Amino acid sequence: MDGLGFGRFLWVLIWLAASAVAHAAGPVETNVFAVQGVAVDETDKDAVSARNKALVSVQVKALGMLASKLASPEVAAEIAKMEEKDVVRLLRSLSIEEESTAPGRFIGKFTVRFQPAAMRRLFGKYGVSVIEDQAQPSLVLPVWKSPEGPQLWEDNPWKKAWIGLNAQQAIVPLIVPLGDLEDTEIITAQDVLNQDAVKIEALRRRYDVKTVLIATAAPSPEGGVRATMSGDSQLGRIVFDKTYQAEDGAIDASAALAAERFHGVMTEKYKQIRSKQIAAARAEKEAQTSRALPVAVPFSSPSEWNAIRARILSAPGVLGVDVSTLGGNGAVIQLIFTGPVESMRVSLQRTGLNFGQVGGTWVIQPM
């Protein structure tokens, strides 16, 4: 297939992937190598050419956004220099969130998903290790306390702040309900404020998540917004209550700042939890990994050797004793055990044996 033919074939594949849009509620796919809400506005000789141009530019833009989120500014700057032909090879799929066309123009917003294996290799080249295991997705119910009354489904600064966060694919994924007819029939803003357990549970089941977080906000008399969040999650009990004010003092910017800070705290908390879990798993794996150590065992008679050998084999953590050499007054063995040496020392002490180094040689002998 020549270059031109491959190019046309690639556009067809991209466009077919882009056309697969899921609007229904239900289990939401999350992927740390995906970017939501990537906006493009391209012009060309006609709408079709502008669309094809947008399908490439959106991938380049999404990769830059992802690199800025997962890597240092220096690494992100290097990745931003990649050629378009190399970027499109990383694509897994595109989904159209919004689109409109005009003569010679295409405007759209996409979710861009990259191939995990390819992205691992790309970031690995720069020494970046990405935490891929995400937290369990949480459904956020943002209630705006306006002077006209509480709002959940209406257009308001608080709802826009959470939608604009685009955190569905984040390390700590947050899902904002669609607000379609079924959602509005299930629950109202007042139901959320009343914490109506039956209606909240119905919405949770619709989106197939384990956690529902209630986030409220209202204009603060001092400026900005006072924002709260509560709920039980994989991270533990979530409780936020703070006033945020953007530099320009605008309500929309202050609401966006509050949502961003809330999500930032949750992300850092999850990273701490995962780091501890990973460290514990690594320690457990190391403890379970067997090792062999050459050890001298002095004795004065065959009966003493048999008694010492029996004690060694009875010590917790010992997997075996392989005899390398055996003489009249001692043996050299390969001691096969699990866990660190210090733990083995304690185990042998419990059987009445000392385990330590003498002149650089490991020795086991009666206490």
3-state secondary structure of 187: coil
- The model's confidence at residue 11, banded by pLDDT at 50, 70 and 90, is very low
pLDDT at 366: 92
3-state secondary structure of 212: strand
pLDDT at 20: 42
Whether the per-residue pLDDT at 201 is higher than 90: the answer is: yes
Instruction: Let me know: does 114 contact 60? Beta carbons within 8 Å.
Output: no
Query: What digits encode the pLDDT tens for the residues 89-101?
Result: 999 988 888 899 9
- The model's confidence at residue 21, banded by pLDDT at 50, 70 and 90, is very low
- Out of 3.40.50, 3.30.70, 1.10.357, 3.30.1490, the CATH code matching 289-366 is 3.30.70
Percent of the chain with pLDDT over 70: 91
What is the rounded distance in angstroms from the CA atom of residue 266 to the CA atom of residue 61?
26
138-286 in CATH: which number? Answer: 3.40.50
Query: What digits encode the pLDDT tens for the residues 202-256?
Result: 999 999 998 999 999 999 988 899 999 999 888 889 899 999 999 888 999 999 9
Strand segments (E) across the chain: 34-43, 91-102, 105-114, 138-146, 149-151, 174-175, 211-219, 225-233, 236-244, 290-298, 318-326, 330-338, 353-358, 361-366
Work out the burial of residue 337: count CB atoms within 10 Å of its CB; fewer than 13 is exposed, 13-18 middle, 19 or more buried: buried
Average pLDDT over residues 69-73: 83
Quickly count: other Cβ atoms within 10 Å of residue 299's Cβ: 20
For 107-136, give the DSSP string.
Answer: EEEEEEEE-HHHHHHHHHHTT------PPP
Contacts of 250 (CB under 8 A, 6+ apart): none
Partnered with residue 142 across adjacent β-strands are: 215
Whole-model pTM: value is 0.59
What is the rounded distance in angstroms from the CA atom of residue 96 to the CA atom of residue 51?
12
Instruction: Give the mean pLDDT of the chain.
Output: 86
Whether the per-residue pLDDT at 282 is higher than 80: the answer is: no
Whether the per-residue pLDDT at 179 is higher than 50: the answer is: yes
Whether the per-residue pLDDT at 287 is higher than 70: the answer is: no
pLDDT at 29: 54
Instruction: Let me know: does 18 contact 96? Beta carbons within 8 Å.
Output: yes
- The model's confidence at residue 23, banded by pLDDT at 50, 70 and 90, is very low
Residue limits of CATH 3.30.70 in the chain: 289-366
Lowest mean pLDDT among 128-132, 136-140, 277-281: 128-132
pLDDT at 166: 84
Average pLDDT over residues 36-42: 90
pLDDT at 190: 96
Instruction: Let me know: does 9 contact 70? Beta carbons within 8 Å.
Output: no
The tokens describing 327, both together, are 């003489």
Percent of the chain with pLDDT over 90: 55
Whether the per-residue pLDDT at 78 is higher than 70: the answer is: yes
Residue limits of CATH 3.40.50 in the chain: 138-286
Whether the per-residue pLDDT at 173 is higher than 70: the answer is: yes
